[in-house]
Amino acid sequence: MMIVDDAFPVEPWLVRETELCLDLLPQTESLFALSNGHIGLRGNLDEGEPYGLPGTYLNGFYEIRPLPYAEAGFGYPEDGQSIVDVTNGKLIRLLVEDEPFDVRYGDLLSHERILDMRAGTLTRTAEWCSPAGKRVKVTSVRLVSLAQRGLAAIEYVVEAVGDDVRVTLQSELVANEDQPATSGDPRVAAVLVNPLEPIQHEVSDRGALLIHRTRSSGLMLAAAMDHAVDAPGRVDFDGDAGADWARTTVVCGLKSGERLRIVKYLAYGWSSLRSRPALRDQAAAAIAAARYTGWQGLLDEQRAYLDAFWDCADVEVDGDADCQQAVRFGLFHVMQASARAERRAIAGKGLTGTGYDGHTFWDSEGYVLPVLTYTAPHAAADALRWRASTLDLARSRARELDLAGASFPWRTIAGEECSAYWPAGTAAFHVNADIAMAFERYRVVTGDDSLEKSCGLAVLVDTARLWLSLGHHDRHGAWRIDGVTGPDEYTAVVRDNVFTNLMAAANLRTAADACTRHPDLACELGVGTEETAAWRDAADAVHIPYDHELGVHPQCEGFTTLREWDFTANTEYPLLLHEPYVRLYPAQVIKQADLVLAMHWQSHAFTAEQKARNVDYYERRTTRDSSLSACTQAVMCAEVGHLELAHDYAYEAALIDLRNLHHNTGDGLHLASLAGSWTALVAGFGGLRDDEGVLALDPHLPSGISRLRFRLRWRDFRVTVEATHTSVTYTLRDGPHTTLTIRHAGEPLEITTDSPTRAPVRPRTPLLPPPPQPAGREPLRRHVQGHTSSREPMITVRSSGRPK
């Protein structure tokens, strides 16, 4: 099904749906999701029905489920973890006279929803005529507070249009909601039936409280609601509750033009340790604070928080309205997923859906944290503290695998490994180096070594120890790593994956340097000079395969000698749903950027010619069956001079959810790809690199973008970069000093707070012509033949789950 452009107009600060399309509900529920990193509310209709996937989530709140194996093996994880749809407080049902407001009945005269990325609110306006001919206008505004961690609120207004009418509002808390049946795709979240066990319920005329506990993981949650009511004339209240539900009912009569307004305050809290009375009091305190702040106060707090965020994070794109909207949409959801996570994981879907069972992956450190480190470093630090808090679990996992140090999980919620597929899970040891890189980037970019002292050093040391036990020196002295899977899950359990080897070497050097900076702390961890010397020796001797005949780096040892994949005969994507791994593993077919990602994250390890030839080689073999790939291909295509191809990839990364490109946005947003829209613009066309410990920039714009302006934070400086096709202007807004030395186009450049500094764009001539892609996998084009609008029609396919 195709949706015309007018239903989703392109606007720089809003995501607007001008008419309700029921076939799009799963997708729009994800797009309009609100979160603060602790609470997540899918963008379901206020009345709860119809829905694609009901969803209210608390970060880190999960249930345990057994992992099925056809044949068990030593070291396989026994249990999985799945995010739980917790008590739903979004529900406000409306009855007009005695007929329920339901968009499927009567006449829906108008319907609009607006996600305002500056206000942090979701506004819905609907005008409805009941089957009996009674008309009402309904306006709701929903927010999840960025200032008050445990709080959400809804303003709900009903206005009589035409005749006098009696209206009844039923505001509810509902636990153990019915979930839609799972699809046959094994990656879609496991459906948990009635995961919450009732513990306590309380009710008053204007509020209620429900307390539940998960049956296996033993986590307890409290959900509370309270209401402020503004109505003309007489109004009646009533409250009732059961084990899994609570309801506040408000009834009043409205004359034409009169309005009934309620503000619903919602409070959530959960714990694995705290008592039932403590959780009850926590929810009650959050409600009291909400009433004290009031609705307008909550709106003002929300706007102030977002004003401060955008001041440090906004990206302006002139000439491409779609990318302008999309990069702000991506930044908004990255901010929402992390703002108040506070030592909890940032999941692959954030708190927007149950896709991937709510797990966090290496995506967090690899794709999301770079954005946060440059725009909201406090949120990046919180996420790194969470990862460090799971270090003991990672140590236990390493011991189970007969390895030294710590082995962090490929996918998890609470820190235990939850991947039931060994080749793509346990063998993807690169997650450990990705985590180490994120700690090092935070230190380099912020200039703050307190995080390294408090928890980062232990992570760096134990990941370095892991690599030394995984790798070995061969008889020629080269240091090799066998039996690993890199980012490309179509090439599994291989020898000397270039990405993994380079990242491991960086991990080893970073750990050794950190121990030199903090000798006393290193001594407490049992690290001596002999151990750090061994780390440096391994890093210096790391084997990086190179095919001299082809002039490219094999993705892993022997990759360029594998058989070629026949893209003319196998074009049903994603291949993993249509081809057995026994055919994928021994072929030159790539799920996502791997060697190309190595050239981005370890840019200094490759020459300009090597980058150009590698991009040319791997473009022809990469299917992009993962949403993680397009942004990286955008970055590297831009660096080697294929700016128009890079723009196409940047567009694809940015629009993956706004267009439902992978046909599974209904399961939740692709948070890493949303972060990747920033990466494609800032690292791709802005040329941002930091892998050598300096702020390096080298902007180049494609023809479709006339100006790119973005903001960065670097060691307490705030820097603005504004690029055109001919020049770059660097503005040092403020900082601890009046000058800062950066690297522009490979050369040192001093910028000052006195005045902007202008520099010319360095000409960039491609070494090779733009390469082709596999049949059927050309990037989404920004202009589609036959359409005058730059906005391509949205493909709307009901969610069935897709690969990352």
Q: Which residues are catalytic?
A: 489
Q: Is 57 helix (H, G, I), strand (E, B) or coil?
A: strand
Closest CA to 332 of 311, 303, 310, 349: 310
- Give the span between the Cα atoms of 517 and 532, in whole angstroms: 12
Is 555 annotated as belonging to a binding site? no
C-beta separation of 351 from 59 below 8 A: yes
In the chain, the amino acid numbered 580 is: P
Q: Is 749 helix (H, G, I), strand (E, B) or coil?
A: strand
SS (H, E, C) 587-607: EECECCCCHHHHHHHCHHHCC
- Give the span between the Cα atoms of 96 and 168, in whole angstroms: 7
Task: Say how many C-beta atoms besides its own lie within 10 A of residue 16's C-beta.
Answer: 16
C-beta separation of 223 from 209 below 8 A: yes
C-beta separation of 181 from 173 below 8 A: no
- Give the span between the Cα atoms of 192 and 130, in whole angstroms: 36
Q: Which residues sit opposite 158 in a β-bridge? A: 138, 260
At residue 55, φ and ψ (nearest 5 deg) are -165, 125
Per the listing, tokens 């240091």 go with 479
- Give the span between the Cα atoms of 312 and 329, in whole angstroms: 15
Is 310 annotated as belonging to a binding site? no
**Which residue stretches of 478-547 are H helix?**
498-517, 519-524, 529-540
- Residue 312's H or E segment, with its range, is helix 276-313
- Residue 714's H or E segment, with its range, is strand 707-714
- Give the span between the Cα atoms of 794 and 655, in whole angstroms: 10
Closest CA to 376 of 323, 306, 440, 324: 306
**Which residue stretches of 620-668 are H helix?**
629-639, 643-655
- What order do you get walking across the sheet with 717-723 strand by strand? 315-318, 707-714, 717-723, 727-734, 757-760
**Exposure of 534 by Cβ count < 10 A (0-12 exposed, 13-18 middle, 19+ buried)?**
middle
How far, in Å, are 497, 628, 681, 710, 742 from residue 371 at the CA level?
Answer: 26, 15, 12, 12, 19
Is 362 annotated as belonging to a binding site? yes
At residue 796, φ and ψ (nearest 5 deg) are -120, 100
Q: Is 173 helix (H, G, I), strand (E, B) or coil?
A: strand
C-beta separation of 358 from 189 below 8 A: yes
Is 363 annotated as belonging to a binding site? yes
Q: Which residues are annotated as a binding site?
A: 362-363, 591-592
Binding-site annotation, residues for substrate: 362-363, 591-592
